[in-house]
Amino acid sequence: MADVVQYRLERMLDELDDLEQRGLFSRREIAEIVKQRRKFEYRLKRPCPLKQDFLSYIEYESQLDALRSLRMKSVAREMKKQGNKNLKKSKSDIAGLRRIMDIYEIALKRFKGDLQLWFQYLEFCRQKKNGRMKKGLAKLIRFHPKVPGVWIYAAAWEFDHNLNVTAARALMQEALRVCPTSEELWVEYLRMELTYINKLKARKVALGEDEGTLTRDPKTADEKQWRDENKELFMPLGEKASNDGPGVESEEPNKKKELFEEHGMNIFRTVYSAAVEAVPLSLSLRKSFFEILEGTNLAHFEDMRKEILAHMKRDFSTQPEFWDWLARHECDLENVQVDTSEEVITSEVHKAIQVYEEALKNVSFGTMYSLYSNFLMGIVAHKEGETSISGLSGHSENYISHLLKIYARAESLGYITEDLACKHVSLLLQLGQLDEGRKLAAMLCSGKLAESVQLWELRITIEIRCITRNSPSPSDADLQSLFELLRQILTKVPVSKSENLWVKAFKFYTNQRPYFDKLVEISVSSLTRDGGSESGFSLSSTIVSFILQKDGIQQARDMYKRYLALPHPGLALYRSCIGLETNVASIGEKSGIVNTRKLYESALATYDQNVSLWQDYYRMETKMGTSEKATAVYWRARRILKDATEFVASSNL
């Protein structure tokens, strides 16, 4: 190893001498450079060098070369002031670049499968323009032929930087033979071909042989109509309007001008047909092709647009996502201007509603109703801060009534889902129809959505609002009825799914001791059945916190001891209780540190391989206990843990 490192360092001698002779680095700085390079070279010659070793070496050499370049410019300026000629290029000017390239190539031989490293290397080659780009791309394609992004990157470089359209086309066509089912490749290949044709047309326009572009003008429909009606206002100076019919002389130039549009449409149709044949069941691919077509100004645009939509209807008529996309595309409210008339907006929305109604005849699923309702809600309910569409305020009631009919239709046909039910109830609450929402929630919770936690949360929220609407102190009958509802759902649903329900229940009954105790009993039964959680929300910890705030530390201790006696209390409860006792110990109560140690020992009896638990135990003894106990915990952890590397490597130990 030492011989190889020494040999590589000796090869740098001419470069280092040149740097010193030109006054770019002092002898002391060069000695430091040799020291750093020796350190990096030894790292690379280890049996198993890390990727970070190579990257650190590259980073150091890049910064060194940047410093050399800055000093080179400074020396050149000084020589110009003295009237001397510019500095000639020498070995040190290219040695740094070559070394970085060599380090990259050594790294890529070891980490052939690291695409991030490959692209980092290629970007470096592209920026430095050193001539190794083609070779690097060929290697990357050879090692990763099944990665579409590799082919796209190579073709983009040939097209944009090397200006070799033939090579770019050959790469993309070869990529499509290797990865025929890649949607990304088909889309990018079409973009490349259309971009090339647009560049050719732009060249003709610059030469005065053509006009226009293949890119569609993104004007609004009203503006286009106005321009068509007032063509004479946009007639170039010197061009005379003729009332005669088009003659033979005007037909020939028009045919020449349409050659690019025709050729572009032929390419689009060919690529589209091949892509659909290769990936027949991809809705996203069809949408991408349709969006590309919408952004172009090709010949027979409308015919191709209708053909794509017809094919999509034929192949995806049973997919709700297709109908939702089609309706939103027909409506296209995102591009509506703020000053658009009310009639235009209403007609756009009506088009979308017609599409959704047609969809419900083909796809009668809950998902379709949910997408339909989302669209209408997006029109009706504009949040603060969002750009609202003017003109909809007068029709809001019609849209709301239509939305309510959609919910009712889904319910009557049996397509109601949890999402639809919750949105229906929430809409009634937003409209201020509290009693109607209460009846609907009660009816839905007694049907096939009887175990929907989200719907039950809405129902409990409504019941609490109804109980407290007239007076802040509810009656015994109201308390009992609400408790029965809570018992009905809390005994059915696992604790992990009903977190919010438990919190709502305990908050509401905090000052109602009999019902609070009954909820505690239900929680004990549920935790005995389901067990406690290891992390995140812990029902038992939440109850202990409620009791701590309400009754004090002693009652909280009694309660957590009761939960810890259950078959599987969970690590989250142990951590919560440890935090509680640690806070008590921090204010000087001796029982706190004793209870904290007991809790740690009890937790480690079950979770003896939990590294973070051992670390917390050690830190606690270091801060609050004695050095002897902390040392004992440290060596116990090293003995018990199967892999104590993380424990020992902790910076706080």
For 221-264, what is each residue's pLDDT tens digit? 455 554 455 444 434 434 444 444 444 444 555 555 578 888 88
Q: Which residues contact 178 (CB under 8 A, 6 or more apart)?
A: 145, 146, 151
The larger pLDDT score, comparing residue 279 to residue 364, is at 279
pLDDT averaged over the chain?
85
- pLDDT grade, residue 389 (50/70/90)? very low
Give percent of the chain with pLDDT exceeding 90.
50
Q: In the prediction, which pLDDT does 248 show?
A: 46
- pLDDT grade, residue 501 (50/70/90)? very high
Exposed, middle or buried by CB within 10 Å (0-12, 13-18, 19+), for 339? exposed
CB atoms within 10 A of CB 181: 13
Q: In the prediction, which pLDDT does 11 show?
A: 86
Residue 250 lies in a domain: no
- pLDDT grade, residue 212 (50/70/90)? low
Q: Taking residues 586-599, what's their average pLDDT?
A: 88
Return d(Cα 597, Cα 231) in angstroms, integer: 88
Asked if 135 contacts 126 with a C-beta cutoff of 8 angstroms, the reply is no
Domain membership of residue 33 as a residue range: 1-111
Q: Which residues contact 26 (CB under 8 A, 6 or more apart)?
A: 20
The larger pLDDT score, comparing residue 316 to residue 258, is at 316
DSSP code of 234? G
pLDDT above 90 for 401: no
Residue 575 lies in a domain: no
User: Which stretch of DSSP H or E encloses residue 566?
Assistant: none
Residue 267 lies in a domain: no
Cα–Cα distances in angstroms (integers) from residue 319 to residues 256, 323, 326, 363, 374, in the given order: 43, 7, 11, 7, 16
Exposed, middle or buried by CB within 10 Å (0-12, 13-18, 19+), for 298? buried
Q: In the prediction, which pLDDT does 79 show?
A: 79
pLDDT above 70 for 377: yes
Give the least confident one: 36-50, 203-217, 602-616: 203-217
Residue 1 lies in a domain: yes
Residue 33 lies in a domain: yes
Number of folded domains that form the chain: 1
Choose among 188, 178, 186: nearest CA to 158: 188
Q: Which residues contact 385 (CB under 8 A, 6 or more apart)?
A: none
Asked if 153 contacts 119 with a C-beta cutoff of 8 angstroms, the reply is yes
Asked if 310 contacts 355 with a C-beta cutoff of 8 angstroms, the reply is no
The larger pLDDT score, comparing residue 337 to residue 600, is at 600
Q: Taking residues 542-550, what's their average pLDDT?
A: 91
Give percent of the chain with pLDDT exceeding 70.
88
Q: Taking residues 449-471, what's their average pLDDT?
A: 89
Residue 492 lies in a domain: no
Give residue-wise pLDDT tens across range 102-131.
Answer: 999 999 999 999 999 999 999 999 998 877
Q: In the prediction, which pLDDT does 192 show?
A: 94
- pLDDT grade, residue 331 (50/70/90)? confident
Which ranges of 111-182 does DSSP label H, i.e. alpha helix?
Answer: 115-128, 133-143, 148-156, 165-178
Q: In the prediction, which pLDDT does 308 show?
A: 94
- pLDDT grade, residue 75 (50/70/90)? confident
Give the least confident one: 12-21, 84-93, 476-485: 84-93
Q: Taking residues 512-516, what's their average pLDDT?
A: 91
Give the least confident one: 73-82, 313-322, 375-384, 603-612: 375-384
Q: In the prediction, which pLDDT does 56 show?
A: 94
Q: In the prediction, which pLDDT does 455 show?
A: 93
Token pair 């756009």 in the structure block, residue:
348
Residue 628 lies in a domain: no
Choose among 464, 535, 522, 461: nearest CA to 493: 522
Q: In the prediction, which pLDDT does 386 show?
A: 43
Tokens encoding 100: 């970085």
CB atoms within 10 A of CB 306: 10
Q: In the prediction, which pLDDT does 239 show?
A: 44
Residue 37 lies in a domain: yes
End-to-end CA distance of the chain: 36
Give residue-wise pLDDT tens across range 17-65.
Answer: 888 888 889 999 999 999 999 999 999 988 888 999 999 999 999 999 9
Choose among 378, 379, 383, 371: nearest CA to 395: 379
Q: In the prediction, which pLDDT does 379 show?
A: 80
Q: In the prediction, which pLDDT does 86 show?
A: 66
Q: In the prediction, which pLDDT does 217 show?
A: 56
Return d(Cα 501, Cα 457) in angstroms, integer: 6
CB atoms within 10 A of CB 529: 12
Give residue-wise pLDDT tens across range 126-154.
Answer: 998 877 899 999 999 999 999 999 999 99
- pLDDT grade, residue 537 (50/70/90)? confident
pLDDT above 90 for 158: yes
Longest alpha-carbon distance in the chain: 108
- pLDDT grade, residue 267 (50/70/90)? very high
Give residue-wise pLDDT tens across range 563-575.
Answer: 999 989 999 999 9
